[in-house]
A and B are shown apart, each in its own frame.
Chain A
Amino acid sequence: MPTRDWDLIKSVFEKAREAPEQDQSRLLESLCGGDTGLLAFVQSLIRNDREVSPAEPMCRTRVFADQNLVAGRFRIIRFIDQGAMGEVYEAFDERLHQRVALKTVRAELVRSPDARSRFEREIRMAREVTHENLCRVFDYVEGDGGIPCYTMELIEGESLASLLDRERPLASDAALELVRQIAHGLDALHERGIVHRDLKPSNIMLARHPQLRVVLMDFGLAKLLNPEEELFQTRIEQQMGAPYFMAPELLRDEQPSIASDLYAFGLIVDEMVTRSRAFAAQSLQSLYFAKLWESPIPPGERSDGLPPAWQAAILKCLAGQPSERFASASAFVAALESTAPVVVTAGKGIRLPAWKPRLQSVWAPIAARPVTLSLAGALALAAGLAMTFATSRAEIPVVQVYDVENATGDSTMAYLCKGTSNELIRRMTRLEGVRVVPMHEVRRPGAAAKGGAIAVEGSLLGSGDQLRLTVLLTDLKSGTVFGTENLDAKASESLRVENELALNTTAKLEAHLVSGSGVIGSVLTPALPSFLTSWFRSAGFHPQLQVAAGPTTNGPAFDSYLRGRQLMDEFTRASLEAALPYLNKAVELDPKFALGYATLAEANLSVMTFMQTPQQQMMDAAQRAAGIAIALDPQLPEAQAAQAIVLQVQWDWQKAEEHFRKALSLKPRYPAAKRRYAGMLLQFGRTAEALPLAEQAFAEDPYDRGAIPGMGLYYFLSGRIAESISFLEAQIGESDMQAARHNLGDSLAQAAIAAAPAERARLFRRALAQADRVTLIESKSAGPGGFTPTGDEMHAHYLTMMGDASAAEPYYLKMEAEYQAGVASPSILAWLCALRGDKNRALTLLEEGYAHRDRRMLYVKLFPALASLHAEPRFQAIVAGMKL
């Protein structure tokens, strides 16, 4: 039971407490109106209250005093600030005569020797990173008593936190410059595989002289806090406000990632442009609750006139699932920058201003009353969405990536051009919701008009060590350039060129696409019922845009890889042999370069194709390289594919298939792997699976060197000769395409055999015309000896098939010479011998090809030329040996 009148006490206490001290006793007396008991009681409460009310915080003792000399080298000038990790001083480096910032690390954070050495290692690693928007870390030093410290660049300016305390909200265009620079810094970190982990306004410095420069501080160091020591963090963080910027997955102890940095980045941008915070929580506990179980308050509700693109982009950063956020900081910025509405044509001739507002309007009334949503309503909604998606799916934009033009006049720079295009393709194919079509080598007039929506073109200018790469992104429908990317670099910086240029360009492309489509993933999906979400996905719509990290961080290794890759693509014996040393060097420079190993495995196998004698050494090298590639990175599709082709020539089909499948599940758009897998399926009569796969591969990359001949070959091998002919003729047109013409000739000759006599002569003439053309092409680039093996093979084959043995004879003799010279493989000659009826020779050559693991042997059962051998026990032995 109450012994006092608390309502009265409260009212007196409150009034007296808020009164100026000198008036207090007089006021109290009048309020108590002669009740001395009450007066004494409230007086004692007021006294107690005064004593417990927060006093001036005690002055902490600082680690260093002014003028202290730290580590015999750094003279302390002044104390600057105190942070979560320790204190910051301005110091003078007496050895290098420059001012630096010296940061101490609280001893309890690095108590164990292990923690200390970890810390040292981190500092050494951070020291390697230099970027305009990152604070340079100089060195690890120890102060008196072993206090761990590190020195870094002294940034003179204020923190973003103090700017926001003073000026908030910033107008979106004013914020943009800051945001851009933060993004550059973050991208530079992420490209090196470093996660900042502690991005927050107080860790972002703004230096204003000579021009505005935004600098990120303390990257990657937050992880130094020991797991058990993180227990202490709650208190520290409370003071720093850092948990507000922590991504929800970090609260669940998941690994920090680029995505968690992007989450923090999104909250920072949100804080810049709104007047309040996205999570209304005051205590740490409530904050955790809000982050884990509640949605952020949309920035548009907390800010007037925020551009819709900003709201959408910020919310995408704040997605609960890391995978639903942007793939890179620059992609986020590009989304903020893009304001152009995308117009999508809907069915029934209605033009809608993009389907983003439409979806919102469809969703909004239902979102407002989720409880009353009936099944019928849901179905109607789903139907509405289905219509919208049908439209948008039909319009999946095709991005055509042309080879970067070498405008330097220096043909040795070709590898850099090729490498840049390949890197652009590699990154862009990871974007969902677009179809990337590489336009290798061919710049055929009118090619761009074929369904292309966006063209990516580039050129390399300059000479010697001063190079400029420019890439243009063009919207082919409107004919407008919506993005350009320039990069000045030295030839030796190929890694940076590939990474920065390709990353930035891809980010711009992503932003261009997201400005119309990404919104659904960020704004609507989190609130959607699961049946709709899964339906979205089954409808092929998932707006996670993922860009893979670079394949290596070692510049020289990457450069060497690019040179090797370029030579490999020429696919001649000489170029393949020349590629091997480059690829070997690449993996020697970076022994963790999985893609390098995968490519090395493929190069070794390709060289073997040209060899006359068994090359166990190369087989072993290929096997070893593929093994390392897959051990280093089992998630690398190229490693899986390399392993598959190694297994193929070991005749381990089942395992090869597993690896092909794995490669394709990792990278669904991987035409080269699809083609090879399709080829393998053909051998087992799985034509129904193989052809659609080959067709997909062709559709995905029609301009790849192997795409057209491959498709033609598969039609040919599956007995669809007429299709092979019409396909190849349509694709070849007037271009050279040696391999495609070879397959066209074979198809024509095969068709001739089955045709009526009048038609037969005409078809053979057409086949021979292809042989002539191929000979001409080969002679243009023939090396010493002037061999034209493919043309000779074609002539010999077709003439033999026609029954004109005397005309075929000289070509046969040339092939024998080419075989002896090591220009033609044994299996090629075996084909001809079989046609000539020389079964013994054919079988001997096939056995040789089998021992060499000649890749042409893969189709040994399928080539019609060898049909006459099928009953031979020696042939059957080969087939059995190959486990076919």
Chain B
Amino acid sequence: MLSILLRTVKPMFREVSPEKSAPGAHTEPSDITRVLQRWNAGDEGARAQLIDYMYPELKKIAQARMRSEREDHTLQATALVSEFFLQLAKREDLVWQNRGHFLATAAQAMKRLLIDHARARNAAKRGSGEPALTLDFLSTDLLRQPVDMLDFNRYLDRLWEEEPRMAQIVELHCFGGLTYVEIAEVIGVDAKTIRRDWQLARAWLVGHLKRAD
């Protein structure tokens, strides 16, 4: 299903300018290819490094979108990931062999971005002009305000302790935009179970967020 299509690796990299890079993102482009190769070869430790690489790219996209989104002051995480994905797609030097791996990694980078953004926004207090980020799978009439990302992350962490699979599903779904079927592929459980777990996790999270509100 997740078939492998090898592409020619071309020595063609976009510069990641140092001033725009986030802390920890000192990865040279050529390293990224090597990291990717290591990961493709099954080295799970390469994953954290990949997130380091993805992060500044994702941030650039988010900043560009925030500038153009001032009217709404909200930003959907999944739209950002899609956009991010397209940016990566243009890089022919990156050879992704596994769809699920990629999406899961992108979801983690996304999560980190949203949390950092929320921290910065809180530090500047409201009215900073920075738009709030929303999770389209959770924004309902129930939660009139956009989800507070820090609260959300706190409860998500608690969920990790309670039931890791449910937390992982939330992460993949909310930050990576993956559907039940795709999450099922990534974590190797059938889609029906994923749906049930998601519904339960959502109900649990909403209950906590409502109280916090």
Contact = CB atoms under 8 A, between A and B. Distances in A.
Contact of B162 (A4, A14, A234, A290): A4
A17 B199 contact: yes
B196 to A, nearest CB: 5
Interface in B1-23: 1-3, 5, 7-8
Contacts of B99: 286, 289-290, 293-294
A352 interface: no
Interface in B167-213: 176-179, 181-182, 196-197, 199-200, 202-204, 206-207, 210
A10 B196 contact: yes
A228 B68 contact: yes
Nearest to A6: B163
Given A52-B140, A253-B90, A231 B65 contact: yes
A608 B204 CA distance: 91
Nearest to A13: B200
Interface stretch (B76-84, B113-121, B126-134): B76-84
The winner among A49, A55, A289 for most chain B CB atoms within 10 A is A289
A319 to B, nearest CB: 13
A528 to B, nearest CB: 12
Given A51-B140, A285-B106, A288-B86, 6 more contacts: A13-B203, A231-B65, A251-B89, A252-B92, A280-B1, A283-B177
A530 B92 CA distance: 17
Nearest to A3: B162
B116 to A, nearest CB: 21
Interface of B: 1-3, 5, 7-8, 64-65, 68, 76, 78-79, 81-83, 85-86, 89-90, 92, 95-97, 99, 102-103, 106, 138, 140-142, 161-163, 166, 176-179, 181-182, 196-197, 199-200, 202-204, 206-207, 210
A196 to B, nearest CB: 21
Given A9-B200, A49-B203, A289-B102, A234 B79 contact: yes
Given A6-B162, A286-B178, A45 B196 contact: no
B36 to A, nearest CB: 12
A7 to B, nearest CB: 9
Interface string A263-300: 00000000000000000111111101110111100000
Contact of B138 (A46, A52, A288): A52
Nearest to B81: A285
B182 A48 contact: no
A55 B96 contact: no
A293 B7 contact: yes
A485 B83 CA distance: 47
Contacts of A280: 1
B181 A282 contact: yes
Contact of A288 (B8, B64, B89, B200): B89
Contacts of A2: 161-163
19 contacts: A1-B161, A2-B161, A3-B162, A6-B166, A14-B200, A44-B207, A45-B204, A49-B202, A52-B206, A55-B141, A231-B64, A231-B65, A234-B79, A234-B83, A283-B176, A285-B82, A285-B176, A286-B182, A293-B97
A548 to B, nearest CB: 28
Contacts of A55: 140-141
Contacts of B166: 6
A720 interface: no
Contacts of B103: 283, 285-286, 289
B141 A295 contact: no
Contact of B3 (A44, A51, A286, A294): A294
Contact of B5 (A45, A282, A294): A294
A235 B79 contact: yes
A48 B177 contact: no
| List of 9 A-B pairs having minimum Cβ-Cβ separation, nearest first | A282-B179, A45-B203, A49-B203, A48-B203, A234-B82, A289-B99, A6-B163, A48-B206, A284-B82
A373 B201 CA distance: 48
B142 A52 contact: yes
Contact of A289 (B92, B96, B204): B96
B178 A283 contact: yes
A52 B82 contact: no
Interface residues of A, number: 41
Contacts of B138: 52
Contacts, number: 122
B50 to A, nearest CB: 15
A288 B85 contact: yes
Contacts of A9: 200
Contacts of A49: 199-200, 202-203
A632 to B, nearest CB: 31
Given A10-B196, A283-B177, A46 B5 contact: no
B142 A51 contact: yes
Contact of B89 (A17, A228, A282, A292): A292
A853 B97 CA distance: 65
Q: Which of B82, B90, B204 has the most CB of A within 10 A?
A: B82
A145 B179 CA distance: 40
Contact of A252 (B64, B90, B106, B162): B90
Interface-centre pick from A51, A253, A281 (highest chain B CB count, 10 A): A51
B86 A283 contact: no
A49, A252, A293, A294, most chain B CB atoms within 10 A = A293
A6 B196 CA distance: 12
A231 B3 contact: no
Contacts of B68: 228-229, 231
A54 to B, nearest CB: 9
A46 B99 CA distance: 34
A228 B3 CA distance: 33
A235 B76 contact: yes
A286 B99 CA distance: 7
A52 B83 contact: no
A231 B87 CA distance: 11
Nearest to B178: A283
A14 B177 contact: no
A630 to B, nearest CB: 32
Contact of A285 (B2, B5, B178): B178
Nearest to A285: B85
Given A10-B197, A235-B76, A251-B89, A284 B177 contact: yes
A51 B182 contact: no
B90 A52 contact: no
A271 B119 CA distance: 46
A290 B2 CA distance: 9
A251 B86 contact: yes
Contacts of B179: 282-283, 286
A138 to B, nearest CB: 32
A252 B106 CA distance: 19
A46 B199 CA distance: 9
Specify which of A9, A48, A51, A530 lies most central, judged by the most chain B CB atoms within 10 Å of its CB.
A48
Nearest to B87: A253
Contacts of A293: 5, 7, 95-97, 99
Nearest to A51: B142
A10 B106 CA distance: 28
Contacts of B178: 283, 285-286
Contact of A45 (B64, B95, B97, B207): B207
A46 B203 contact: yes
A10 B102 CA distance: 29
A281 B145 CA distance: 32
Contacts of B65: 231
Contacts of A4: 162
B207 A48 contact: yes
Q: Which of B1, B83, B176, B203 counts the most chain A CB atoms within 10 A?
A: B203
A281 B185 CA distance: 11
A141 to B, nearest CB: 26
A2 B161 CA distance: 6
Nearest to B102: A289
Contacts of B78: 283-284
A228 B67 CA distance: 11
Nearest to A1: B161
Contacts of B203: 13, 44-46, 48-49, 52
